[in-house]
């Protein structure tokens, strides 16, 4: 198991589209890893997000624990990864119960002339695919929805959202959609992390009182 092959999707857009496929309530087929490597193709339901195709990669797992994974990848694919980037890795098999993990690339180092090694720290908690946009009050022009991930860390901790870089605004309202459900509003809390690829911040759902 330590030296298995895994399939990897890199970046918020690719991860969101993969998870929408996996988490769809009425899905009848998850697709094989070979189909995943050709494309992840999801028809988006929200305005402002176009249907996209995202390449995935088949890389060698060289170590794994409950907190992270180490991968080797060819030198000609190292441009796919950035330190501070979100990545999803899943077992390279076609079973319905294959495991997947979302993590953050924490290091990328060269092992030899042909290979690089990447260290990924897993995100702990329950993750859902989402789309998000900041509310712009007093303007007729709404901003586009963008890819996001919602993270539930447990009953004693505030939920967290991962968004593209520079989307965070302190104490601001956002509109969120998950898997075709009705949209709901959230209010941003503390900014926990900001990289060149994403921002991670706490949020609180805004409850409407009738």
pLDDT per residue over 2-49, tens digit each? 678 999 999 999 999 999 888 765 544 433 344 334 333 333 333 333
Confidence of residue 137 (pLDDT cuts 50, 70, 90): confident
Architecture of domain 5-122: Beta Barrel (2.40)
Domain-wise residue ranges, the chain: 5-122, 126-205
Q: CA-to-CA distance for 29 and 27, rounded, in angstroms? A: 6
| pLDDT attached to residue 155 | 87
What pLDDT digit, counting tens, does each position of 154-186 carry? 888 999 999 999 999 999 999 999 876 678 999
**pTM confidence score:** 0.81
Residue 61: closest CA among 11, 100, 29, 16: 100
pLDDT band at 93 (very low <50, low <70, confident <90, very high): low
- CATH number for the region 126-205 comes to 2.40.10
Which range has highest mean pLDDT (16-20, 49-53, 122-126)? 122-126
Query: What is the reported pLDDT for 10?
Result: 94
d(CA 204, CA 171): 10
Q: How many CB atoms lie within 10 A of CB 110?
A: 11
pLDDT band of 91, cuts 50, 70, 90:
confident
Of the candidate ranges 36-45, 87-96, 109-118, 153-162, the one whose mean pLDDT is the lowest: 36-45
CA atoms of 10 and 186, how far apart (whole Å): 26
Q: How many CB atoms lie within 10 A of CB 155?
A: 5
Cα(72)–Cα(89) distance, rounded to whole angstroms?
Answer: 13
What are the backbone angles phi and psi of residue 98, rounded to the nearest 5°?
-65, 145
Do 5-122 and 126-205 have matching folds? Answer: yes
Categorize the per-residue pLDDT at 108 as very low, low, confident or very high, splitting at 50, 70 and 90: very high
Say whether pLDDT at 94 is over 50: yes
User: Each residue of 61-77: pLDDT tens digit?
Assistant: 999 999 999 999 999 99
- Give the chain's mean pLDDT: 82
């Amino acid at each position: 198991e330590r030296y298995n092959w895994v399939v990897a999707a890199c970046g918020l857009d690719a991860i969101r589209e993969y998870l929408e496929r996996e988490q769809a309530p009425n899905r009848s087929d998850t697709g094989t890893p070979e189909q995943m490597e050709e494309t992840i193709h999801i028809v988006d339901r929200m305005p402002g997000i176009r249907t996209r195709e995202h390449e995935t990669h088949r890389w060698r797992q060289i170590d794994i624990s409950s907190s992270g994974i180490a991968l080797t990848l060819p030198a000609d694919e190292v441009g796919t990864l950035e330190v501070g980037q979100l990545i999803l890795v899943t077992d390279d098999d076609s079973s319905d119960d294959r495991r997947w993990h979302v993590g953050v690339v924490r290091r990328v180092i060269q092992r030899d002339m042909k290979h690089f090694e990447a260290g990924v720290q897993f995100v702990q908690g329950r993750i859902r695919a989402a789309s998000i946009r900041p509310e712009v009050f007093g303007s007729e022009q709404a901003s586009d929805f963008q890819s996001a991930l919602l993270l539930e860390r447990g009953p004693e901790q505030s939920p967290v959202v991962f968004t593209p870089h520079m989307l965070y605004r302190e104490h601001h309202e956002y509109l969120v959609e998950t898997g075709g459900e009705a949209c709901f509003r959230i209010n941003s809390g503390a900014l926990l992390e900001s990289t060149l690829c994403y921002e991670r911040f706490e949020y609180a759902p805004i409850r409407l009182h009738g």
